[in-house]
Amino acid sequence: MSTEMPTRYDASTVESKWYESWEEAGLFKPDPDPAKPRYTITIPPPNITGSLHMGHALCYPLQDWAGRYQRLRGKSVLILPGQDHAGIATQSVVEKLLRKEGTSGAQIGREAFLERTWQWRNESGDTILKQLRALGCGFDWSRSRFTLDEGYAKAVLQVFIDWFDKGLIFRGKRVVNWDPVLRTSVSDIETERKLIKGHLYYIRYPYADGSGSLTIATTRPETMLADVAVAVSPSDARYQGLIGKQIQLPLSDRTIPLIADIYPDPEFGSGAVKITPAHDPNDYMVGQRHSLEMPVILDERARVSLPGSPYDGLDRYEARKRIVADLEEQGFLEKVEDHEIAVVVSERSGEVIEPLLSEQWFADQAKLAPAVIEAVEAGRVQFYPARYQEIFLEWMRNIREWCLSRQLWWGHRIPVYYDESGAAHAALSWEDAQSKAGDQKIVRQDDDVLDTWFSSGLWPFATLGWPEVTADLREFYPTSTLITDRNIINLWVARMMMMGLHFMGKEPFHDVCIYATVLNEKGQRMSKSLGTGVDPMGIIETKGADAMRYTLLSQAGENQDLRYSDRKTDEARNLCNKLWNATRFVLLNVEGSVAKPDVLEDTDRWLLSRLYQTEAAVRNAYDRYHLQDACTALYRFFWSEMCDWYIEVSKSRLADPATRAVPQWVLLTSLEALLKMLHPVMPHITEELYAYLPIEDKAAYLMSAAWPNLPAEYSDPATEARVERTFEIVRALRALRASVDLAAMKSAPIVYVSGDLQGNEETLRTQAWFEQIVLGAPPEGERCVSTTLEGVDLHLPIGDLLDPQKELARLDKESEKLSAELLKIQGQLDNPLFMERAKPELIEKLQANREEVEGKLGKIVERRALFGG
């Protein structure tokens, strides 16, 4: 067969054409065949604001890998894509846009803002989906969903109303995490703690009766404007008898009581804590226990809001400065110490969170958690790697209230309507609410929207049509696998489990696969803002999507992180090129399809056996999401075994029309299986190469082909051992040649071999590049360099080419190695405890080794003598 394949693989021309073909052939849709088991994934919906980063370049190819693998394994596969409206992120993007245009959300109002956001979403909100196509992700776009779709939005409201009616959602006043930049509350898990250098201020609070003062320590003096008490530990001797006294709050005309509470730690500071219930979660609890007032003195931008006060309108940090200065001036400031402060930072804005007392909607997760815990403990949901299970359960067992409301516009507006009396009714519409309210007139809808994670929590069933009982919902729920990253186990996975179990009665997926975080070469997080990121699209353009995919997927296993580096993409690209050229070689050496031959040689059986073992290893690794192990096995089979050995061994047979059929068949068989196994990781190049293969019963597409089904008789460990022994001898002979500066791959006339080659003489001859192998010892007087291994003596005639000193040096080195080995073996065999307790097989093995090493050493002595040593 002739081929016009160029000698170099060009990803850009090959990759672009296949995606369309697959899509046109309908391969991204589930196979309607009812006999096939279903395999479903609803992908983690990317934000509409997103553009592809390295995390995505791992995440979405993983979803695609799973789909392609399961499809090859005979399943009907649905990988359902979609996008998340991403409340905070999107609103920020549009606000920025408006600012550029000289206006703002506040100026144009809610309705115009939402219109503008939808416009933005329709124009540029699906950048990332196009990029996923470039990565080869074969998702069912006809089922693509968006969390603000009409149907989806209805599902969200339905869930809210249901939980509201069941009392699982309630309104409450709590100290929440307030983001003063985004001006909304955020949940605990959207915040992180950071240690920063700050100060601890010691402030004197005088007693109102003039009988001296006590000292409190605080890191946030500005909040003293909202102090309502000072608390001390009831066991603190310093304050015995003083409890109940009134204190004159500095910089203020208010007096506040000294109270006793379990919260203060006598060891810290002065043991006295100022209590600001509205601006600190701990103080809030103290305030509740003592029924204290809870004045709020910071506004939504964290500015002081205290009309009439000189600090009114100041930013919280500016206020701190002024208050500290004033305290000092008036003699209240006792001292200032350096202090490490644990601040809470919003992950979205990077701003320091202001704990703020406000009225919010909450979900009572504690009532939903037990079903989730039970499902995991019963093994109906499995985590990969398993260690995440405990982390997950730990969080579920200590679950807290979930603050659902966000003070945003972009999102699902909370379906709560208030009537004249102030009573709240949850309903799908104003009209519904009115009918629920009866005589009381509905006067307004709640202004807030729901936390984005509330809507993504319904992803596995709302995408399939819930609350309607659609055919898709019946067919594809529960889904099979969730593949996501560890940062959102609690944020997202937990919520999907709670909602899925509550509304569908079944856990939403069986496997939860947690993949690694992609770091850069130096082990830093990839981040646009830090400039440590690499754009995957650039790699796709220059080296191909398959190279990009292989780079990341071949590192996916149970690891916590993985490192991206450009060098690895070069390796992946080189692998593509090697695949291309190996196939090209095969095609140049076959005329058409070949039938399975009756008689195979050792090397043929060896490769088939290796293929058999490789398939088993790959399948096992894929099933456990250990792509790393699968890729290693495939790489080794392809590059080391098939290319470096089998193709080289077969070249002479392929050149001869009388013998070529067998290696032709073996190569085509191996290549076909290899391409199938590699396809889930590198879909484009494997599809392209498969198209060239002249094989029987070929599928229309590799993508829709069947996973290799290799007969058990391919497995042949005895032949594997025999052939690999031969290769060992080949390597030794090549090394011997190199030691006398005999060029590699140049045919040399003769080598003497004594020992059993087990029928692999021809392999040894061609692979060690000799014209002739003579069995037996060299004739008397023939000057040779020699070595011994595997019970075989190799003698390479050298005439008088060689410097004796060089050969003596080589022999000495060999001898040194052997002596060290002998010493070690002997040491063990001389140890009576070892002889008594070690396994008999091991002892036998060592004894055999000893004999072999001694024999080799003896031969070296003889050989040294030949060179005057």
Partner RNA sequence: GGGCGGUUAGCUCAGUGGUAGAGCACUUCGUUCACACCGAAGGGGUCACAGGUUCAAAUCCUGUACCGCCCACCA
Secondary structure of residue 331 in the 3-state scheme: coil
Q: Which of 268, 350, 718, 851 touches RNA (CB under 7 A)?
A: 268
- Contact call for residue 719 and RNA (CB under 7 A): no
Q: How far apart are CA 142 and CA 307, in angstroms?
A: 57
C-beta of residue 206 within 8 angstroms of C-beta of residue 287: no
Q: List the interface residues with RNA, window 366-425 (CB under 7 A).
A: 387, 390-391, 394-395, 398, 400
Q: List the interface residues with RNA, window 795-824 (CB under 7 A).
A: 821, 824
Of 588 and 700, CB closest to RNA: 588
Q: Which of 527, 640, 805, 819 touches RNA (CB under 7 A)?
A: 640
- Contact call for residue 842 and RNA (CB under 7 A): yes
Q: Which of 40, 218, 609, 763 touches RNA (CB under 7 A)?
A: 218
Cβ partners under 8 Å of residue 729, min gap 6: 757, 764, 789, 790, 792, 794
Report in angstroms how near the CB of residue 622 gets to RNA at its nearest. 15
Interacting stretch for RNA, rule CB under 7 A, among 71-79, 463-471, 575-583, 776-784? 575-583
Q: What is the DSSP track for 584-616?
A: HHHHHT-SS--PPPS---HHHHHHHHHHHHHHH
Q: List the interface residues with RNA, window 647-666 (CB under 7 A).
A: 647-648
Interacting stretch for RNA, rule CB under 7 A, among 110-118, 267-275, 498-506, 706-714? 267-275
Of 635 and 714, CB closest to RNA: 635
Q: Which of 144, 215, 219, 434 touches RNA (CB under 7 A)?
A: 219
**What amino acid occupies position 373?**
I
Degrees, nearest 5: CA angle 56-57-59: 55
Alpha carbons within 13 angstroms on the beta-carbon side of residue 342 total: 4
- Contact call for residue 865 and RNA (CB under 7 A): no
Q: List the interface residues with RNA, window 504-543 (CB under 7 A).
A: 521, 523, 525
**What amino acid occupies position 646?**
Y
Q: List the interface residues with RNA, window 549-568 (CB under 7 A).
A: 555, 557-563, 565, 567
Report in angstroms how near the CB of residue 439 gets to RNA at its nearest. 43
C-beta of residue 715 within 8 angstroms of C-beta of residue 609: yes
Cβ partners under 8 Å of residue 525, min gap 6: 517, 519, 532
Q: Quick one: tokens of 636?
A: 């080794």
Report in angstroms how near the CB of residue 417 gets to RNA at its nearest. 33
C-beta of residue 755 within 8 angstroms of C-beta of residue 789: no
Alpha carbons within 13 angstroms on the beta-carbon side of residue 795 total: 22
Of 423 and 588, CB closest to RNA: 588
β-strand partners of 277: none
Handedness of CA 457, 460, 463, 465 (dihedral sign): negative
Report in angstroms how near the CB of residue 167 gets to RNA at its nearest. 24
- Contact call for residue 484 and RNA (CB under 7 A): no
Q: How far apart are CA 500 and CA 86, in angstroms?
A: 21
Q: List the interface residues with RNA, window 28-87 (CB under 7 A).
A: none
**What amino acid occupies position 410?**
W
Q: Which of 529, 745, 799, 830 touches RNA (CB under 7 A)?
A: 745
Q: How far apart are CA 319 and CA 298, in angstroms?
A: 11
Q: If 0-12 CB within 10 Å is exposed, 13-18 middle and 19+ buried, where does residue 202 land?
A: middle
Q: List the interface residues with RNA, window 273-312 (CB under 7 A).
A: 273-274, 280-282
Of 274 and 425, CB closest to RNA: 274
- Contact call for residue 837 and RNA (CB under 7 A): yes
Q: Which of 743, 801, 809, 861 touches RNA (CB under 7 A)?
A: 743
Q: How far apart are CA 372 and CA 21, in angstroms?
A: 42
Of 68 and 584, CB closest to RNA: 584
C-beta of residue 91 within 8 angstroms of C-beta of residue 99: no
- Contact call for residue 217 and RNA (CB under 7 A): yes
Per-residue contact string for residues 334-353; x = within reach of RNA by CB under 7 A = -------xx-----------
Per-residue contact string for residues 749-788; x = within reach of RNA by CB under 7 A = ----------------------------------------
Q: Which of 68, 584, 722, 795 touches RNA (CB under 7 A)?
A: 584
Of 99 and 845, CB closest to RNA: 845
Report in angstroms how near the CB of residue 182 gets to RNA at its nearest. 19
Reading phi first (left if > 0) and then psi (alpha if -120 to 50, else beta), residue 775 is in beta
- Contact call for residue 204 and RNA (CB under 7 A): no
Report in angstroms how near the CB of residue 16 gets to RNA at its nearest. 17
Separation of first and last alpha carbons in the chain? 57
Q: List the interface residues with RNA, window 592-631 (CB under 7 A).
A: 628-629
- Contact call for residue 237 and RNA (CB under 7 A): no
- Contact call for residue 222 and RNA (CB under 7 A): no
At residue 444, φ and ψ (nearest 5 deg) are -165, 160
